A and B are shown apart, each in its own frame.
Chain A
Amino acid sequence: LSVPPEIPKEDGRPKWDNKFQYILSCIGFAVGLGNVWRFPYLCQIHGGGAFLIPYFIALLFEGIPLLHLELALGQCLRKGSIGVWNTISPYLRGIGVGSWMVSVLVSLYYNTVLTWVMWYFINSFQEPLPWSVCPLNENRTGLNEECYESTAVNYFWYRKTLNITPDITESGTLQWWLILCLATCWAIVYLCTIRGIETTGKAIYVTAIFPYLVLTIFLIQGLTLPGATDGLAYLFTPNLNTLKNPRVWLDAATQIFFSLSLAFGGLIAFSSYNPPKNDCEKDAVTVAIVNSMTSLYASIPVFSVLGFKATTGYWDCLDRNIISIINEFDLPEESIKRQNYTVWISLLNSSYPEKIAGLKLKSCDLQEFLDQSVSGTGLAFIIFTQAIILMPGSQAWAILFFIMLFCLGLSSMFGNIEGVFTPLLELQIISKSIPKELLSGIICLISFLIALCFTLGSGSYWIDIFDSYAGSLPLLVIAFFEVIGVAYVYKIKRFSKDVEQMTGRKPNLYWQITWRFISPLLLLIVFMAFVTLQIQKAPSYAAWNPKYEAFPMKEEKVYPPWVLAICVLLAVLPCVFIPLVALFPLIKRMWRSKDPSFVSPEVFVCQGDNS
């Protein structure tokens, strides 16, 4: 199996082996970890099935138009993000630079999340699973205290994996096991992106398709677990009252936006390797719908497993109470079952109330267990791992689950790296004699060295910061300027003609309206709402502090000023490139005092490639 050398077109640009590879790469980029651990959570807290309404509205008016825009731009102008915006107008080159900057920042921390997945994966080959038992303390008289007070799963995540510090200002030391895993992850990324799309195109067949297989297996397994139906009912029961809360609409809009990986520049890079005569409209609709369907499809096994976990938690709670009661009253075993527990309790409470009060029984409520909603890393590394322990054959389930997460994240990493790689290849700074392998190697090496700071004790706090500030706000700004740039600088009429060149039909009224008015307006509203919500309360984080009085609850701490400064820097840095880079042509223009036109000449750029 040898990878053929690049088969260049007349313009020397590599291309996809076939259309399926391209579609799969876009889908793989869009479908990531968020589809599995953020969408089900949002569904749960925002009224179950009712959340789908704002979600699909946002998809229709924000997701699909923006996606089509990016794919058409890349395909028409056949350059990476920086080159594309430079072609549209030298003043707008900053948008491309901003996209590139965001891709760099996100690649740095995203691969560290994959490092955690890899660490759990290589620990899944043991019997028993290391997160199922608490280790003993020093003198072997009992279990380790931190582990005993929280749970074994929490202990393994916070202590054995992250070795987390109680405060973000305490950096702790570099965790050598995480460094090893980080090196491996970057090596895998290098292996797959070594020659750009020639190698990622082959890798994507595995990384994009395998997660669907595993999701199906988990679906079948999940539905057979006890309590699965409770979880699913809880998830999908619509509560239309939540739609009155604007927060729900904001979450739907942001979820669609971030889920489709818009404004990273990766999609532009992917479509730039397409032949010009390609139906980008159909591609955009396909990718967006597949992404949303995947989110829905993934929430079914996730919620089956969560329902199972809630049910077993509820049963455990009941069982513990039952044991306390039969021990206290010396009743025969199995006299109190879960079904007649309430009958017994009321009977005993009426006859021996002091004794019952003395037992300090916990109130067991299935709804309470179901209400414990978690998203993000907590869902995967704490909740799901706990559920896996309870399944028969846990090693196999753990291995499958973590390979699936790894593939989901890796295919998104391809898009991120491509968003970094492609614009660099087009810069004149990088001489043509540097082979692609060397360039990708340098990118991966530098990223690995910078990402080492995420393997410190406080690393996961920093990743949360990067995720909340670098991977959210700048994207909204960049996307807004993208739509404005195309609709009002490049002009929609020209763009429609370009798209008609590529797809063979004029974009219909839906596209015209959304590109011109609805999408920019929607983005503006979302941006304002987002900023307003962020400003309302001082940014805080939840720290894992074993010395906290209410341990195992997490301690709410406020960010110190220097950390806040970094947060603002991360959010502002990519956005500031937009006006900053626009200054250069302005200065040039003032220097030469010529009269270049603000708008590019009336040449249909797409047509130029067909000659």
Chain B
Amino acid sequence: MLRVLLLILFPVAIANAALCKPDAQNAFKVRLSIKTALGDNAYAWDANEEYLFKAMVAFAMRRYSNKSKTQISNVLLCNVTDRVSFWFVVTDSSKNVTTVPGSEVEAAIRMNRNRINSAFLLTEKTLQFLKITSTLSPPVEPSTPVWLIVFGVVLSLIVAGIVFLVVGGIQQRKKKNKESTERENLEEKGEVTVAVENGIPCEALDLKAGHINGVFAADDERFTSL
């Protein structure tokens, strides 16, 4: 029984080896940078991880095309290096010893890139499919650019300050004007009504010359003759 199995599988194995080799048709090179991505939490790349990879590729193929019946055994890995990098190829389950066209594989991988990345805890940069480009997602932009908001805040503060100072200046000027007009009014009033201070009429006193106490002024010519 075993010999029969071997006889059947042997040519298949040889055929598979022919399908998966570096730069083969429809083969893709994959490169992982696990230590760069995970640092101390890096896992070692062993046969189990390879199994997971095959499963993810098969999953991607199935998800991409409903008709696809890709099995894990259809995904072939070869030339695994210490880097960690390897080549893989997807064989067609229906036809014998042929590979699925590269465009299909590429489309499938691209569609499910996120799922594949997260299965290995890696990102676009650390799990590289060397021939497959990806569309980059645009950065998130808020509806109002942030700088306009900050600018609005700064400008309103400044304008408030200016208004405050200008209004303050106008008020000071009004107060000064009011004070000086009041003083003028007082002087005017002093000349019209006969204000009497200590029995001496104010007009007799020379107000503009400052505070002169008429009692003590020695200058006779200042006063009208009594």
Contacts and interface: CB of A to CB of B under 8 A. Distances in A.
Contacts of B166: 194, 437
A333 B169 contact: no
A194 B136 CA distance: 51
A344 to B, nearest CB: 15
Contacts of B34: 333
Given A181-B151, A330-B81, A435-B169, 17 more contacts: A3-B168, A5-B176, A125-B147, A125-B150, A136-B136, A140-B138, A141-B133, A142-B136, A180-B151, A187-B155, A327-B85, A330-B85, A331-B83, A333-B35, A333-B36, A333-B83, A437-B169
A332 interface: yes
Given A136-B138, A330-B83, A333-B34, A437 B165 contact: yes
A184 B136 contact: no
B159 interface: yes
A183 B162 CA distance: 13
A136 B162 CA distance: 42
B29 to A, nearest CB: 10
Interface of B: 31, 33-36, 81-85, 133, 135-136, 138-139, 146-147, 150-151, 154-155, 158-159, 161-162, 165-166, 168-169, 172-173, 176
Contact of A191 (B83, B84, B136, B165): B165
A577 interface: no
A529 interface: no
A87 interface: no
B82 A332 contact: yes
B17 to A, nearest CB: 19
A190 interface: yes
A3 to B, nearest CB: 6
B158 A184 contact: yes
Contacts, number: 82
B138 to A, nearest CB: 6
Contacts of A118: 154
14 contacts: A3-B168, A5-B176, A119-B147, A122-B154, A123-B147, A136-B136, A136-B138, A140-B136, A141-B136, A180-B155, A181-B151, A332-B82, A332-B84, A435-B169
A79 interface: no
Contacts of A396: none
Contacts of A199: 165
Interface in A213-256: none
Contacts of A122: 147, 150-151, 154
Nearest to B34: A333
A580 interface: no
Interface in A169-201: 180-181, 183-184, 187-188, 190-191, 194-195, 199
A326 B146 CA distance: 42
B155 A184 contact: yes
A187 B159 contact: yes
A3 B159 CA distance: 16
Contacts of A140: 135-136, 138
Nearest to B159: A187
A582 interface: no
B78 to A, nearest CB: 13
Among B34, B169, B172, the one with the most A-chain Cβ atoms within 10 Å of its Cβ is: B169
B178 to A, nearest CB: 14
Closest 7 CB pairs of A and B: A330-B81, A332-B82, A330-B83, A122-B150, A333-B35, A122-B147, A5-B172
